[in-house]
Amino acid sequence: MRPDPVPPAFPTGFRWSAATAAFQIEGARGADGRGRSIWDDFVETPGLVRDGSTAEPGPDSYHRAADDVALLSELGVDRYRFSISWTRVRPGGGAVNPAGLDYYDRLVDALLEAGVTPFPTLYHWDLPAELEAEGGWLNRDTVSGFADYARSVADALGDRVKNWYTINEPVSTSLQGYAIGELAPGRQLLFESLPSVHHQLLAHGTAAGILHDHGAEQVGIVNNHTQVLPAREEDGTAAYLYDVLHNRVFAEPVLLGSYPDLAALGVDLPIRDGDLETIRTPCEFYGVNFYNPTTIRSAPQESPIPFEQVPTPGAAHTGFGALWPIVPGALTEFLVDAKQRYGDALPPVIVGENGASFPEPDHPDGRIDDTDRIAYLDGHIRAVADAIAQGVPVQEYTVWSLLDNFEWAEGFTQRFGLVHVDQVTSARTPKASYGWYRDLIAQVRTGAGQ
Ligand code: GBH
């Protein structure tokens, strides 16, 4: 079904963006003295990545950044969300590697030249492997390592880059990386993983202070959020716990300066005096990555965790499978609920990622008419407009992703791009959704304020 031809209404000044992340697009892992990250270890461990791929070359954006900038410019986005690789800038978490900074220095200049505002993320999951060997995000020392890294990036780019995301989706790192092992570093610590939550949030607050000291105008964390739905009436407790662990543990220290009550889980976080003040450092926006609602039921007695995820009844799903339902209204409801819950403690919201994968050929002959992606994006963009109409201060919307890229444990099997990428030749071919998004941005801009 083609979307409604009447474009949604957005306030004047609403911003549009598209996103990528370093490990997912750069390739060129041997270039410039880049160190090893936990993702290099993960992709080299047989059986962990679905198609056995290693992220190389993928889009090869390390060598093709000019192509990416041209695509962004033609798309007409206000900003580009990309991430900076800690292992290029400070290999091993050690001394600054100027050659590693050069790539980002050139990318920033090229974006500014093209009229696209650079909006980098400091941490999108590529922790130096040497730091993981010392405990990674379970170890409080990683916070000071991150502060040093943030300082060196701000020193090098802060004259031109004024807008920053600190940490991407700490929930994915804690739950999938440290608790159940689906993502790097592949640990299976269940509730013992929780110190990684506190240390990532502390790293966010510490870096936010450093970036502000370097003249940053807009800084924020970007959390992955979901609307949690109980499968049956008797699943209320399981759904409540999942909401605490997936959403509230990450939102409330940042917005309110306190953690939700974790007593029911029997865990203690390694909080020291002053930590919560650091985590609550005032920020100019709150980043929300949103993909789908999550339906939860209580797990069988023998399970080590008290909940499990099940398909959302009645919902179609993306190419990622039954646990990735398509329910655009869930985004409106999540945003309205967050505004009700947090009131004035919620700063302007930036949707930092939203998008979907669908099965598409590796080597298309001709154009990819990705009507299912267009419908998904159209529905979620209208859901954002609805939330704004209900009083939620959303300022910006970002498509995940500009490019087909390396989808972590799913390797190259999931395509999220507005632009198709041949994973062998790295050739870029805009899909129908690219032209659709370009036209939507232009129409909304023309119609804004009317
Ligand atoms: C975001 O994660 C990420 O920020 C981004 O890098 C990613 O490409 C994008 O979404 C699309 O997934 O089946 O073991 O591979 C959103 C949360 C975490 C959901 C990983 C899918 C897959 C786990 N995602 N998860 S696995």
DSSP 226-253: --EEESSGGGHHHHHHHHIIIIIHHHHH
pLDDT value of residue 1: 58
Residue 309's beta-bridge partner residues? 296
Structure tokens at 151: 């300082």
Query: What is the distance between the alpha carbons of residues 95 and 449, in angstroms, rounded to a whole number?
Result: 50
pLDDT value of residue 2: 65
**Res. 447 pLDDT band, cuts 50 70 90:** confident
User: For the segment 394-438, what is each residue's pLDDT rounded down to a tens digit?
Assistant: 999 999 999 999 999 999 999 999 999 999 999 999 999 999 999
Whole-angstrom CA distances from 359 to 304, 315, 386 are 34, 18, 29
Average pLDDT of span 66-84? 98
pLDDT value of residue 123: 99
Average pLDDT of span 24-43? 97
357 CA closest ligand 1 atom index? 11
Quote the percentage of the chain above a pLDDT of 70. Answer: 99
- Active site annotation includes 333: no
- Residue 46 C-alpha to ligand 1 middle, in angstroms? 20
Q: Is 182 in the pocket of ligand 1 (CB under 6 A)?
A: yes
Average pLDDT of span 364-393? 96
- Residue 407 C-alpha to ligand 1 middle, in angstroms? 7
User: For the segment 230-282, what is each residue's pLDDT rounded down to a tens digit?
Assistant: 999 999 999 999 999 999 999 999 999 999 999 877 888 999 999 999 999 99
Catalytic residue of the set 132, 169, 252, 396:
169
Catalytic residue of the set 353, 360, 396, 410:
353
CATH class name, domain 15-445? alpha beta
Which residue's CA is the nearest one to ligand 1's atom 20?
172
Query: What is the distance between the alpha carbons of residues 19 and 34, in angstroms, rounded to a whole number?
Result: 22
Residue 379, class by beta-carbon neighbours within 10 Å (0-12 exposed, 13-18 middle, 19+ buried)? Answer: middle
User: For the segment 147-201, what is each residue's pLDDT rounded down to a tens digit?
Assistant: 999 999 999 999 999 999 999 999 999 999 999 999 999 999 999 999 999 999 9
Which residue's CA is the nearest one to ligand 1's atom 3?
169
Which of the listed residues 23, 174, 353 should we mutate to test ligand 1's pocket, taking the one with most ligand atoms within 8 A of CB? 353
Strands 428-430 and 419-421: antiparallel
User: For the segment 273-332, what is each residue's pLDDT rounded down to a tens digit?
Assistant: 999 999 999 999 999 999 999 999 999 999 989 999 999 999 999 999 999 999 999 999
Average pLDDT of span 373-383? 98
**Res. 449 pLDDT band, cuts 50 70 90:** very low
Cis before 401? omega within 30: yes
